[in-house]
């Protein structure tokens, strides 16, 4: 038997002081979200002729109103069903911070992206543990936390890398793997289990990230593979494809006039897409771009196995 949203609200971390009018709220450093009952289902007190077999299957709708920390006005941001399971942005972020700190890893910075009327969050937690690689410069591990307040995305913990762009104006390039992503059910587990996951990624980052970049740098994409990746990006948006192609041209070494440009390495294609996706504000498009970038990487077997195990655990 399902428990109504109103009866779960306090346990989920929502403020229930205004529950008498069907209002539940949550505030943290990022902003405020308010849930309000739109059409509460009242017990039917009429005769049995008014009862319908689907009555118990029907759930109330909960309206969402949100604002960022620097905003004064709330905006309507859709609705969720009465069965929605809420988790606050800073609640899930703090669980990940605790897991990181428990394995002794200093946090260098956090880059938080809020999108879709504050209802989608991506927090990129960069760790102070770098690997210096000839083909790429300094590479740092990243824990990527995703969450939503409108049911469009479960809370997740993903793993990625940050690439310092020395001499460039775009800051760090941050990329998140889709492989290895842990869903909300695992994030809500004990700090010990989360710490083990963070520790597993840190171990594979230290042991295998150099091999991944070196192998990708030494792997040349065929013309068909190159066109396939660009077609995927064009499906996200023609202008995005043009911008990625321009970045790729910048990464290629100069050639003599009239000469045929060489086919790019897997690392060059990855880096071009990753650099562009780092600047992408639309979190759905960012995810698709990262998937395209990941598809060209040469991921060592041991690293793949660890990330796959984290995702399946």
Task: Clarify whether residues 172 and 300 are in a common domain.
Answer: yes
Task: Clarify whether residues 174 and 289 are in a common domain.
Answer: yes
As a whole number of Å, the end-to-end CA separation of the chain is 27
Supply 12's token pair. Answer: 């989920």
The domain boundary, picked from 38, 55, 81, lies at 81
pLDDT tens-digit profile of 74-101? 999 999 998 899 999 999 999 999 999 9
Task: Clarify whether residues 58 and 108 are in a common domain.
Answer: no
Query: What distances in angstroms separate CA 250 from CA 88, 224, 247, 291, 295, one per listed residue?
Result: 41, 21, 5, 22, 21
Task: Clarify whether residues 149 and 217 are in a common domain.
Answer: yes
User: How many angstroms separate the CA atoms of 74 and 304, rounded?
Assistant: 43
The winner for highest mean pLDDT among 14-23, 38-47, 255-264 is 14-23
The domain boundary, picked from 30, 50, 81, lies at 81
Supply 78's token pair. Answer: 């859709």
- The parent domain of residue 13 ranges over 5-81
Task: Clarify whether residues 296 and 170 are in a common domain.
Answer: yes
Question: Quick check: 139 pLDDT over 90?
Answer: yes
Task: Clarify whether residues 133 and 250 are in a common domain.
Answer: yes
Task: Clarify whether residues 180 and 145 are in a common domain.
Answer: yes
Question: Quick check: 2 pLDDT over 60?
Answer: yes
Task: Clarify whether residues 148 and 260 are in a common domain.
Answer: yes
- pLDDT on residue 246: 92
Where does the pLDDT of residue 252 fall: very low under 50, low under 70, confident under 90, or very high at 90 and above? confident
Question: Quick check: 177 pLDDT over 80?
Answer: yes
Half-sphere exposure for 98 (CA within 13 Å, toward CB) = 14
- pLDDT on residue 106: 95
- Number of compact structural domains in the chain: 2
Supply 56's token pair. Answer: 């118990």
Task: Clarify whether residues 304 and 182 are in a common domain.
Answer: yes
- pLDDT on residue 185: 72
Task: Clarify whether residues 48 and 139 are in a common domain.
Answer: no
């Amino acid at each position: 038997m399902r428990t109504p949203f109103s009866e779960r609200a306090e346990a989920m971390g929502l403020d229930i002081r205004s529950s008498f009018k069907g209002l539940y709220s949550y505030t943290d450093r990022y902003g405020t979200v308010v849930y309000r009952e739109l059409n509460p289902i009242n017990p039917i007190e009429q005769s049995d002729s008014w009862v319908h077999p689907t009555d118990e299957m029907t759930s109330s709708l909960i309206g969402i109103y949100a604002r960022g920390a620097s905003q004064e006005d709330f905006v309507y941001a859709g609705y969720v069903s009465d069965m929605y399971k809420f988790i606050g942005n800073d609640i899930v972020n703090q669980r990940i911070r605790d897991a990181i700190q428990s394995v002794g890893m200093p946090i260098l910075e956090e880059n938080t992206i809020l999108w879709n009327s504050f209802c989608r969050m991506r927090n990129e937690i960069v760790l102070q543990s770098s690997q210096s690689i000839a083909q790429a410069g300094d590479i740092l591990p990243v824990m990527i936390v995703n969450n939503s307040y409108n049911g469009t995305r479960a809370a997740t913990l993903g793993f990625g890398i940050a690439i310092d762009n020395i001499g460039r104006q775009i800051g760090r390039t941050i990329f998140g793997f889709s492989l290895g992503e842990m869903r909300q059910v695992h994030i809500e587990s004990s700090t010990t289990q989360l710490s083990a996951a963070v520790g597993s990624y840190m171990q594979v980052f230290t042991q295998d990230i150099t091999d991944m970049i070196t192998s990708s740098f030494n792997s040349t994409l065929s013309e068909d593979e190159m066109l396939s990746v660009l077609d995927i990006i064009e499906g996200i948006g023609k202008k995005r494809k043009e911008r990625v192609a321009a970045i790729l041209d910048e990464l290629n070494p100069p050639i003599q006039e009239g000469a045929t440009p060489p086919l790019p390495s897997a690392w060059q294609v990855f880096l071009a897409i990753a650099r562009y996706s780092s600047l992408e504000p639309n979190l759905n498009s960012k995810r698709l771009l990262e998937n395209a970038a990941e598809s060209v990487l040469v991921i060592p077997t041991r690293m793949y196995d660890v990330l796959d195990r984290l995702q399946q655990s």
